[in-house]
């Protein structure tokens, strides 16, 4: 495998590893009035391909919005980690998968996994981008920023794949 493909593979693995560290995300859809709506959602699953799965009610406005316009954005942020996934959302009825994805956080919102109004939302990302300034990266970044601010330079961009990458996922 050539070096570029190795970097892309490492970037994708890092992106998926980071997404899996989150319990919730903001799901952004278009309302149909050329406006966008964001709402917090419990993450039910993240696949090895980077798909993010959520549980929703068929009666929810987001289901109508996704049906009208499947473009979606998933935004995650916490403790120096920032991620965005843009792609296509779809509404799925899959009782078997729903049973596998049922968890206490999902149960907080939906009491009965046999509710006929429950559906799965799958966001299949086409692009992902992350900035990871947590842990050791945060210390390295802060040191670089302090050095560069002494000479009046703007804050530095993340220097390596561990800290930042933009990845095409399709």
Summary count for the chain: helices (H), strands (E): 5, 8
Alpha-carbon distance values, 20 to 51, 97, 165, 166, 169 (Å): 11, 18, 17, 17, 16
C-alpha closest to that of 155 among 137, 139, 143, 165: 143
Q: What's the pLDDT at 3?
A: 80
Pull the structure tokens for residue 103: 């968890």
pLDDT number for residue 137: 55
Start-to-end CA distance of the chain, whole Å, equals 19
> pLDDT tens, position by position, for the chain (170 residues)?
688 778 888 999 999 999 999 999 999 999 988 899 999 999 999 999 999 999 999 999 999 999 999 999 999 999 899 999 999 999 999 999 999 999 999 998 998 899 999 999 999 999 999 999 886 655 555 555 566 666 666 655 555 557 899 999 87
DSSP assignment of 77-145, as one string? EETTEEEEEEEEEEEE--HHHHHHH--HHHHHH-S-TT-TTEEEEEEEEEEEEEEE-SHHHHHHHHHHH
> Who contacts 81 (Cβ-Cβ below 8 Å, separation ≥6)?
18, 21, 130, 131, 132, 133, 134
Q: Distance between CA 170 and CA 161 in Å, rounded?
A: 19
Tokens of 34: 């050329």
Fold (CATH) for 3-132+161-168: Pnp Oxidase; Chain A (2.30.110)
Cβ atoms < 10 Å from Cβ of 44 = 21
How high is the pLDDT of residue 2? 81
Domain ranges of the chain: 3-132+161-168
Q: Which two tokens stand for residue 40?
A: 């917090």
């Amino acid at each position: 495998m050539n070096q570029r493909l190795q970097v892309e593979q490492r970037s994708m693995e890092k992106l998926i590893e980071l997404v899996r560290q989150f319990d919730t995300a903001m799901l952004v859809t278009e309302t149909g009035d050329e406006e966008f709506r964001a709402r917090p959602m419990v993450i039910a699953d993240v696949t090895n391909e980077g798909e993010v799965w959520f549980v929703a009610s068929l009666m929810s406005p987001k289901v109508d919005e996704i049906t009208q316009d499947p473009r979606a954005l998933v935004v995650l942020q916490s403790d120096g980690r920032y991620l965005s996934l843009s792609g296509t959302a779809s509404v799925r009825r899959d009782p078997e998968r729903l049973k596998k994805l049922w968890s206490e956080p999902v149960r907080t919102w939906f009491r009965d996994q046999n509710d006929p109004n429950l559906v799965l939302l799958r966001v299949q990302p086409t692009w992902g981008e992350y900035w990871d300034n947590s842990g050791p990266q945060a210390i390295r970044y802060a040191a670089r920023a302090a050095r560069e601010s002494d000479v009046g330079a703007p804050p530095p961009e993340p220097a390596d794949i561990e800290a930042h990458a933009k990845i095409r996922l399709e």
